[in-house]
Amino acid sequence: MAKAASKNAKIKDIKASAEAKNWTKVIKPVRSAKTGAYSFKEAIIHKDKVKDYLSGK
């Protein structure tokens, strides 16, 4: 028989999932100076800093 999950483990998972919702995956196109072709940079950023990342600050 499997062990039941403890109450503390369930609370920890809920807190971790709530914190994970504050992060966003951002894909930014970057143009090469030599060829003019686009490449893409991916980053996982806090949702409050997405506009700063995309503007290049």
d(CA 10, CA 27): 33
> For position 15, what pLDDT does the model report?
72
> For position 36, what pLDDT does the model report?
93
> For position 18, what pLDDT does the model report?
75
Residue 38 forms beta bridges with which residues?
A: 31
3-class secondary structure per residue, 1-56: CCCCCCHHHHHHHHHHHHHHCCEEEEEEEEECCCCCCEEEEEEEEEHHHHHHHHHC
Domain spans of the chain, in order of start:
16-55
| pTM as predicted | 0.59
pLDDT tens digits along 1-57: 566 666 666 666 777 777 888 999 999 999 999 999 999 999 999 999 999 999 986
Handedness of CA 38, 41, 42, 45 (dihedral sign): negative
